Amino acid sequence: MWSLVLLLCLATGAWAQTRTIDLASFDLVWTTIRDTHWQKPPAGLDWDAMRAEYRPRVEKAATQTEARAAMQEMIGRLRQTHFAILPGVVYASLAEDAGGPGSTGIDVRVLNGEAVVTAVDPGSPAERAGVRTGWVIRAVNGREWKPVIEAARSAPVLELTRSLLNRLSGPEGGSVDVSFDSAGGAAATLRLDLVAGRGSLAEFGNLPATRVWYDEKRLGETGYVHFNVFLDIPRLIPAFEKTIKGCQSCNGLIIDLRGNPGGIGGMAMGMAGFLVDQPNQRLGSMYMRDATLNFVINPRPTEFAGPVAILIDGTSASTAEILAGGLRDLGRARVFGTRSAAAALPSVFTRLPNGDGFQYAVANYISQGGQTLEGTGVTPDEEVQLTKEGLLAGHDAVVDAALAWIGKQRKP
């Protein structure tokens, strides 16, 4: 009898503690949106009324799942999809393995539920080991990737991809054991060294030092540019200018922003200046609670006047979206690939007291064509999906589509 009473007391105490934690989580979500949303009141809603409506539901919730559902319903009233609550198990999965500066040289995307190698850095440990695009990664250090991908099915593409890439990194001088399904479905486990990543270290403000790389080449008569982040202004802007000067005879230019999470917003204006001939055009405008920033373009002395194709995917974010969406709206570029990350501004992730993850945006960005990028993203003019089969055959379907379009344009 006393054992039963003790169990009931313990259960009641645990439930009360869970309710307290859920209420603290609700209060943090509600207060954060009230204080940081770019509109006051948020999305034109009576935010005090939202609290009065939903907090009692959280208080009465019998389970954390019910409490979470009430919070998700409240933020759903914003009708802005870049606000989300990720269940603790998903958030923990995404946050797991912070990674490190050591790199194997592999880039990866989830295609049809599989983690597929989409690029291998020249001279990297992965290339030396014979890893090829199109191979599927099954496990790293004995830990299967399929459960991670399934658990994070509802998570943003950008966050899932970062999580997977972190698992392929670590301290320089270390190594990781990567299990692949290679060409023809053959299984192989390779030990790959972790070395300094490609590019040069660059610093900006209080941000940690970041490796920045910039690649350019010719694909037949077409110029091709690919860089990983909008940082290192003293090196990247002159490199882009050199590309433009050297590409005056090109039949077109491809700017590959896949995998580019953004960076310094002003660099979008600087680069766009090499692609327009009319002053005072805008890529768009950024709206914060107390300020508006217009992304104005001014032409540079050297301009590329030919067709421009921009490549994006779910890992193209922030400044990458601003450049792609703005040039498309101005009629200066055609966009290929898949929808961008819908993170025109870096959104914030925080952990709630109940262990769930809370994502929220603090500003809005409207492209010159009136498109909301935060929570919506840039939709390509031509949607093109990478495929495992194409990559195994050495073909990048997105690049191929851009080249085909450029080939049909007349050089001015």
pLDDT of residue 233 exceeding 60? yes
Decide if 87 is inside a domain: no
Q: Which residues contact 174 (CB under 8 A, 6 or more apart)?
A: 100, 102, 193, 194
Query: In terms of domains, do 115 and 236 share one?
Result: no
In three-state secondary structure terms, 21 is helix
- Among the three residues 51, 79, 107, which one is the final residue of a domain in this structure? 79
pLDDT tens for residues 25-63? 999 999 999 999 988 899 999 999 999 999 999 999 989
Find the range with the poorest average confidence among 121-130, 178-187, 343-352, 372-381: 343-352
Q: What is the pLDDT of residue 173?
A: 95
Q: What is the pLDDT of residue 206?
A: 60
Could you tell me if 90 and 154 are in contact, meaning their C-beta atoms sit under 8 angstroms apart? yes
For the residues 78-97, what does the mean pLDDT come to? 72
**Nearest of 195, 327, 318, 192 to residue 261 by alpha carbon:** 318
Decide if 265 is inside a domain: yes
Decide if 352 is inside a domain: no
State the residue for tokens 């001939």: 277
Q: What is the pLDDT of residue 16?
A: 64
- Among the three residues 48, 79, 110, which one is the final residue of a domain in this structure? 79
pLDDT tens for residues 317-329? 989 999 999 999 9
- Among the three residues 178, 196, 214, which one is the final residue of a domain in this structure? 196
pLDDT of residue 138 exceeding 60? yes
Q: What is the pLDDT of residue 153?
A: 77
In three-state secondary structure terms, 146 is helix
β-pairing, 187-193 with 175-181? Answer: antiparallel
pLDDT tens for residues 294-321? 999 999 999 999 999 999 999 999 899 9
Q: What is the pLDDT of residue 297?
A: 94
Query: In terms of domains, do 13 and 52 share one?
Result: yes
Angle at 126 between CA 123 and CA 127, to 5 degrees: 45
- From the number of C-beta atoms within 10 Å of its C-beta (0-12, 13-18, 19+), residue 130 rates as exposed
Decide if 17 is inside a domain: yes
For the residues 155-164, what does the mean pLDDT come to? 87
Q: What is the distance between the alpha carbons of residues 109 and 391, in angstroms, rounded to a whole number?
A: 12
CATH number, position 211: 3.90.226.10
* pLDDT bracket for residue 339 (50, 70, 90): very high
* pLDDT bracket for residue 238 (50, 70, 90): very high
* pLDDT bracket for residue 171 (50, 70, 90): very high
Instruction: For the chain, state the CA radius of gyration.
Output: 24
Could you tell me if 119 and 149 are in contact, meaning their C-beta atoms sit under 8 angstroms apart? no
Q: What are phi and psi of 224, to 5 degrees?
A: -135, 130
- Its pTM stands at 0.83
Query: In terms of domains, do 266 and 304 share one?
Result: yes
Could you tell me if 155 and 86 are in contact, meaning their C-beta atoms sit under 8 angstroms apart? yes
Decide if 354 is inside a domain: no
Find the range with the poorest average confidence among 122-126, 134-138, 208-212: 208-212
pLDDT of residue 376 exceeding 90? no
Q: What is the pLDDT of residue 91?
A: 67
pLDDT tens for residues 385-399? 999 999 999 999 999
* pLDDT bracket for residue 10 (50, 70, 90): very low
Q: What is the distance between the alpha carbons of residues 235 and 152, in angstroms, rounded to a whole number?
A: 37
> What sign for the dihedral angle of Cα 125, 128, 133, 137?
negative
Q: What is the distance between the alpha carbons of residues 120 and 106, in angstroms, rounded to a whole number?
A: 5
Query: In terms of domains, do 26 and 150 share one?
Result: no
pLDDT of residue 80 exceeding 50? yes
The residue ranking higher by pLDDT, 412 or 77, is 77
Q: What is the pLDDT of residue 319?
A: 93
Token pair of 334 as six digits: 């055609």
Write out the residue range of the structural domain in which residue 374 sits.
Answer: 200-347+362-408
Q: What is the pLDDT of residue 411?
A: 56
For the residues 117-127, what does the mean pLDDT come to? 96
Token pair of 255 as six digits: 């700017």
Query: In terms of domains, do 262 and 311 share one?
Result: yes
**Nearest of 308, 315, 316 to residue 109 by alpha carbon:** 315
State the residue for tokens 């954060």: 32
Query: In terms of domains, do 159 and 258 share one?
Result: no
Mean pLDDT of the chain: 89
Q: How many CB atoms lie within 10 A of CB 35?
A: 11
Rounded percentage of the chain residues whose pLDDT exceeds 70: 92
Q: Which helix (H) or strand (E) holds 177?
A: strand 175-181
State the residue for tokens 């204006």: 269
Residue spans of beta strands (DSSP E) within 194-344: 195-196, 200-202, 210-212, 214-219, 222-227, 252-256, 281-287, 292-297, 308-312, 334-337
Helices 2-36 and 47-60: crossing angle in degrees, nearest 10, is: 170
Q: What is the pLDDT of residue 124?
A: 96
For the residues 291-296, what does the mean pLDDT come to? 89
Q: What is the distance between the alpha carbons of residues 22 and 17, in angstroms, rounded to a whole number?
A: 9
Decide if 355 is inside a domain: no
Decide if 172 is inside a domain: yes
In three-state secondary structure terms, 198 is coil
Q: Which residues contact 319 (CB under 8 A, 6 or more apart)?
A: 230, 260, 262, 263, 264, 265, 267, 268
Query: In terms of domains, do 174 and 36 share one?
Result: no
Backbone φ/ψ region at 205: left (φ over 0), alpha (ψ -120 to 50), beta: left
Query: In terms of domains, do 247 and 152 share one?
Result: no
Find the range with the poorest average confidence among 14-23, 112-121, 374-383: 14-23
pLDDT of residue 159 exceeding 80? yes
Q: What is the distance between the alpha carbons of residues 335 and 258, in angstroms, rounded to a whole number?
A: 11
Query: In terms of domains, do 252 and 385 share one?
Result: yes
Query: In terms of domains, do 68 and 32 share one?
Result: yes
Query: In terms of domains, do 229 and 318 share one?
Result: yes
* Neighbouring-strand partners of residue 120: 106
* Highest-scoring range by mean pLDDT, 155-159, 324-328, 362-366: 324-328
Decide if 236 is inside a domain: yes
Query: In terms of domains, do 124 and 237 share one?
Result: no
CATH number, position 126: 2.30.42.10
Number of domains forming the structure of the chain: 3
